[in-house]
Structure 1
Amino acid sequence: MLGVIKIIRRACVIPSYWLYPMKNISELLTPVFDLPSIRAIEQASFSSEGGSYPMMERAARVLFHHISRRFKEVQTFTVLCGSGNNGGDGALLAVLLANAGLTVRGLDLASKERSGDAKKAWAALLASDVEVFVSNTLDDDTCFNGVIIDAMLGIGGSAFLSGEFERVCRWVNKSRQSGARVVAVDSPTGLDVATGLADPNTVVADVTVTFIRDKQGFYINQGLVCVGEVICERLESVDLLAEKGDKLVGAVGALWFEASDVRLLSPCARYPVSHKGSYGHISVVGGDDGYGGAVIMAASGAARTGAGTVSVLTRDNHIAPVLARIPSVMAVTPDGEDIKGTLRNLDSVLLIGPGLGRKQWGEALFQQALELTHRKVLDADALHWLSLNPIASFRGLVVLTPHVGEAAKLLDTTPDGVSGDLIGSAKALSQRYGAIVVLKGVSSVISAPDGRTVIAGRPCPGLAKGGSGDVLSGMVSSCLAYYQNPFEAVVIAVAWHNVAAQKASQELGEIHMQPYELLDYLRLS
C-alpha cells in the first residue's frame, strides 16, 4: 500500500497535506472564562475542602515547580504579598523557596489586616527564613536583578492603581527593564481579568501562572501585553474536578486561538485536481473617487490568499490602477451604478465597503448589495451605511468586520463601552444582525449568531494604519469562498492576517511597514 502511495505521489505530485489529514481547528482552541465562572469553581473548592488553605498550598507547590525549573540559575527572589489569598499563595511560595536554600525577600503590601487563611499563610512566612520588609523602605531608584513574584492582588484587582500599589508596580517594571524577570501569580497587578483593560503602570510579567481556568481578560485589550507566557493550572481536588468542576463554570465565555497555529490548518492547501471555480469568485465593490487604494488592497488580499477569481467594481478612473497593480483581476465600472445586473449570474462572495465612501454613489451600491443573496462581507463604509439603516436580517450569510468605533455605532453605544466588554459586544452585534462578526482590536473577537466566539491574534502595532482592515476584508472574503465552514474560514483569515503582520513587522519594522506589504508575508511555510 505504501508503495502505491509513493507511486501516486510521484506521478501526481500530491502534497502531503492532501494525503494526510490536517489538524482540526477544534483541537487548537483553548477555553477562556469570565470572572463569575472562575469564582464559582473557586468557592466550590473552598467548600469541599473546608477552606482556602489547601488550594493555597497547591498553588505554592505549582508555582515553586515552574519557577525552579525556569529560573535554575537564579538565587535571589523578591515576593510581593498583598493581604488577600493571592498574597497567601505568594507567602507560602516564599517559604518553599527559602527552604530550598534560596535568598528570599518578602514585601508586605497588606492594605488591611490579614484574616483567615491568608493570615495563616503569612504566619508561616514570618516563621521562615524569609526576610520581610515594607514598601516604604523600597528605594524607587534601586532596581532588583533577580526574580520578582507579583502576588499583590491577583484576579481581585482592577485596572486602576493608586498609592503604594502603583508605586511598587512602577518599581517592578523598572526592574524588569534592567534585567529582572517577573512572575505573576494568577494575574498581573493592575490588569482587569474580566475586560483586559489595564492601568498604565500594570505589572508586565514574563510568565503568568494562573489557576482554576484561563481568564478571558488575558487575551483581549492590554491583557496580551501584560501577561507574557500563560501557564494555567487547575487546582481543584481530584474529586471536585471529576464530579463538578466543568459543570460549575457553565458555558465557555470564548475560545482562544493562537494565531501562529494557523500553519497547522494549511490554509494555503490546494487540491491537485481542481480549477479556479473550486476556490470561489470574489467581487469587491468600493473605491469612490479618491479611495481607489482601499479597493486595490482588498482585492489584493483576496487574490493573494487563494480566491479562484477576483472582480473589482469601482469608479471608472480607478480601473487602470487596479489592473496595473493586480493584472489577474477583472475590473469594471457598475453599469449605471447598478451592481445587481453585473453580479446576478456570478456564484460570488460579495465584499462591499473598502473605499465605498459616504456619498450617494456609495449608498446606492450598498442598498443594492443588501438585495443580493450572495455571501457578503461588509467592511469600512458599508458599516457606516448599515449603522444608518439597521436591518434585522440579511439575505444570505453575512460577515461584519468593524473596529471598536464602528461597532459602537452599530450598537448605539460608545467606543469605551465596547472596549470595556469586547466579548459581550461581539456577541451582541452577532445577535443583533444575525451575522458573523469580526470585532477588530489588539486581538480580534470573532462571534457567530449561535454563540460561538473565538479570540485570535497577538498585538502588532504595525497594523495601526489605514488599509490594514482592507487587506483583512479581502482575506476574509477569500477564505469564505472556499472553506466549507464559514465561521472557521473567518477565524483562519484573521489569524493568517495577524501572522503575516507579525512577520512583516519583524522584518520591516512596525513603524515602516505598510498594509499592502503584508501580502508579501502570507506564505506560512
Structure 2
Amino acid sequence: MKITASSPLLYTAAETYALDAAAIASGIPSIQLMKRAGRAAYDLLLARFPVPAQVTVYCGAGKNGGDGYILAALAAQRLVPVQVIQLTPADKLTGETRQAYEFALQEGVPMQDFASASQPDDGVIVDALLGIGLRDAPRAEFAAAIEQINAAGLPVLALDIPSGLNADTGAVAGAVVSATLTISFIAAKRGLLTGRGPAVCGELVLANLDVPETTYTAASPNAVRVQLGELQCLLAPRAADAHKGDFGHVMVIGGDTGYGGAALMAAEAAARAGAGLVSIATRPEHIAAILARRPEIMACGVVSGQELEPLLARPTLLVVGPGLGRSPWSEQMLQQAVKSGLPLVLDADALNILAEGRVVPASVKRDNWLFTPHPAEAARLLGITAAEVQADRFAAVQAIQTRYNATVILKGAGSLVAAKGDNIAVVTDGNPGMATGGMGDVLSGILGALTAQGLSLPDAARLGAVLHACAADLAAEDVGQRSLLATDLIPYLGELL
C-alpha cells in the first residue's frame, strides 16, 4: 500500500469533524474548503490519468457529494468529458453541496439519476457517494451504485474514503468501493490503514487543503503511523569492544511433536535480528534437524517442565509459543516460563493456553510480557468472536492491553501495536504475501532479539513489527508475493538493521 502523507497522526471521523470546524473558525468558509478538496482531487486525477476518455462522478447528498460536484465542474471547465450520476435528487441537496451542484450545472456538466444511468464503460470513475460519517451498511440504492462502480472494472478515485468503509475502524458492514486511489482531506483517517482499509483504498494520498497548522490543535488523536526510518535509531551502534553477552540471550520455547520448524524459524530470526545468544527448548526429536540447519543455535531437548526449569537461569528473555501445541507438555512449558519471571514474548498456542485461564490464572498481572495475536487468538483472549475483533481492531487491541497489562501487537493488514500509556501504532508496510505459515514465528524471534538487546517492550514491538513488514516487502520484490515464505524474510533483517 503506497501512502503519500506528511503527518503520521491518524484521526477518527469525530476528530476530523473537529479539525474541519477549526479550519472554518479560522476564517476559511466551508464552501471554500469544499472547493479546495474538489481542486485537489481533480489535480490528482489528471496527474494519475492525464487524458481520461471520460470522468464519471457518482455523487451522494453530503459534503462528499459536494466535493464530487466541484471536481466535475472543474473537469467541464477544461473540456474534459465528464458526467455526474446522482444518488440524491437535486431538490434534496442543501448547503454547500447545493452550491457545488449549481456550480457544476452552470458549467454544463451532464447529470442523470442513478436509476436511469448505465454503467460507465470507459475512463475513470470518481466515488463521491458516502463520506466518513458512515457507521452501518450503505442503503440499498447506494449499495447498488457501489456494486456498479466495482463491476465497471475501471480505475476509481475515492474522495476522502472509499464509500462503505468505516473511517474509524476499517471495517465493512456491506458493499464497499474498491478504489485504485484514495485522496484523504485535511487528515488521514485511521480506518484507511487497517482492517479492510488497505484492501479497498488503493494508493492513499493526503491533501491538507492548506488549513492553518493551528487547526490540528483541535483534536488529539491516539493513533499514529509508524515507519522504519524513525525507529531504527532505537538500536544504538555497537561498541568496538562489544561481546555476545552485551546483546542478550533469547530462549525460544516451543516445537511440540511435528512442529519443530516453527521454533527454529523464531530462533533463526532472533539470531539474525542481533541477539547475542539464542537457544531453543523443544522436543528432543527436533534437535538434530535444528543443529543441521543452524549450528549457531543452542538446542536443548526437554520432555517436561521439570527438565526446562534449570535451563531458565540462563536466558535474558523467553519467546514462548512457536509450534508449542496444546498438549500437557505444552502447558508445562508455558507454566514454567511464566513462573520464571523473565520477560516474555507470547505467540500462537501460548496465547490460546493463556486464554483458557487454567495453566496461568487470570489473576496474574505482569508488565513484562508482549502478546502477538492474530484476530482469532485475540478473540480467545477477549472471549468474543474473530469477526467482533475485526469489526473494531482498535478497540480489541486496547482491550487486550488493558485486560492483561501487556504490550500487544494485533497482527493483520495494518497491524496495531498497543502499550500502556502510548498511542496505538499502525504498521502500514507489509503485503498479502505474508499470509502464509511461519510469519508469526519469525516476528516473535525478531521481537525477542530486540528486547534482549535492551529495548523496552513497547519500543521492541513497534520496531519489530515494522522491521518484519519491511523485510517481507523486500523479499516479495525478489520472489513475488504468491511465492513468499516466512524464511525468505530472514536474510533481509540484516540489510534493514
Q: Tell me, yes or no, if structure 1 residue 156 matches structure 2 residue 133.
A: yes
Partner of 2:448: 477
SS of the aligned residue for 2:132 comes to helix
Match of 1:92 in 2: 70
Map of 1:246 onto structure 2: 216
Q: Write the distance in 2 (CA, Å) between the matches of 1:228 and 1:362.
A: 42
Establish whether residue 257 from structure 1 lines up as the match of residue 226 from structure 2. Answer: yes
**Structure 2 match to 1:285:** 253
Match for residue 147 of structure 2? 170
**What amino acid is the match of 2:127?**
D
- Provide the residue aligned with 2:309 in structure 1: 340
Q: Distance in 2 between matches of 1:505 and 1:94?
A: 39
TM-score (norm 1): 0.85
Query: What SS class does the counterpart of residue 524 from structure 1 fall into?
Result: helix
The answer (yes or no) to whether the contact 2:169–2:392 under 8 Å persists in 1 is yes
Q: Which amino acid aligns with 2:32?
A: P
Task: State the alpha-carbon separation in 1 of the partners of residues 311 and 33 from structure 2.
Answer: 65
Q: Distance in 2 between matches of 1:358 and 1:45?
A: 55
Q: Which of 406, 410, 415 is residue 439 of structure 1 equivalent to?
A: 410
1:283 counterpart SS class? strand
Q: How does 1:133-212 map to 2 (within 5 A)?
A: 133-140=112-119, 143-145=121-123, 147-158=124-135, 160-161=137-138, 163-175=140-152, 177=153, 180-198=154-172, 201-212=175-186
- The correspondence of residues 58-69 of structure 1 with structure 2, limited to 5 A, is 58-69=36-47
What residue in structure 1 maps to residue 331 of structure 2? 363
Tell me the CA shift for residue 454 of structure 1. 0.4
**Residues 188 and 203, structure 1, Cα contact 8 Å, conserved in 2:** yes
Offset at 1:84?
1.2
Aligned to 2:299: 331
TM-score (norm 2): 0.89
DSSP 3-state at the match of 1:522 = helix
Q: Give the Å deviation of 1:398.
A: 0.9
Return the letter of the residue paired with 2:78.
A
Partner of 1:414: 385
Q: Secondary structure at the match of 1:196?
A: coil
Task: Tell me what 2:266 maps to.
Answer: 298
Distance 1:144 1:198, change over 3 A: farther
Contact 1:55–1:236 (CA under 8 A) maintained in structure 2:
no
Structure 2 CA distance for aligned equivalents of residues 99 and 396 of structure 1: 61
Is structure 2 residue 95 aligned with structure 1 residue 113? no
How many matched pairs? 487
> Which deviates the most, 165-174 or 272-281?
165-174
| Secondary structure in 1 matching 2:476 | helix
Q: CA deviation at 1:41?
A: 2.9
Cα distance in 2 for residues equivalent to 1:162 and 1:322: 56
Amino acid at match of 1:185: L
How far off is 1:162 after superposition?
5.2
Alpha-carbon spacing, 1:230–1:50, altered in 2? closer, same or farther (3 Å): closer
Code of the aligned partner of 1:223: G
Aligned residue among 358, 362, 384 for 2:352: 384
Aligned partner of 1:124 among 87, 96, 103: 103
Q: Which residue of 2 aligns with 1:461?
A: 432
Alpha-carbon distance between aligned partners in 2 of 1:403 and 1:144, rounded to the nearest angstrom: 41
Identity %, equivalent residues: 33
Structure 2: where are the runs of 5+ without partners? none
| Equivalent-residue separation in structure 2 for 1:394 and 1:331 (angstroms) | 30
1:104 aligns with 2:74: no
What are the superposed Cα offsets for residues 498-518 of structure 1, whole Å, 9 maximum, x if unpaired? Answer: 122233334334343322232
Q: For the structure 1 residues 395 and 85, does the alpha-carbon distance in structure 2 shift closer, same or farther, using more than 3 Å as the test? A: closer
How far, CA to CA, are the matches of 1:408 and 1:126 in structure 2? Answer: 51
The one-letter code sitting in structure 1 at the alignment partner of 2:126 is I
User: In the alignment, what sits opposite 1:14?
Assistant: none
Residue type at the aligned position of 1:58: R
Q: CA deviation at 1:163?
A: 3.5
* Partner of residue 226 from structure 1, selected from 200, 219, 232: 200
> Which among 49, 55, 73 is matched to residue 33 of structure 2?
55
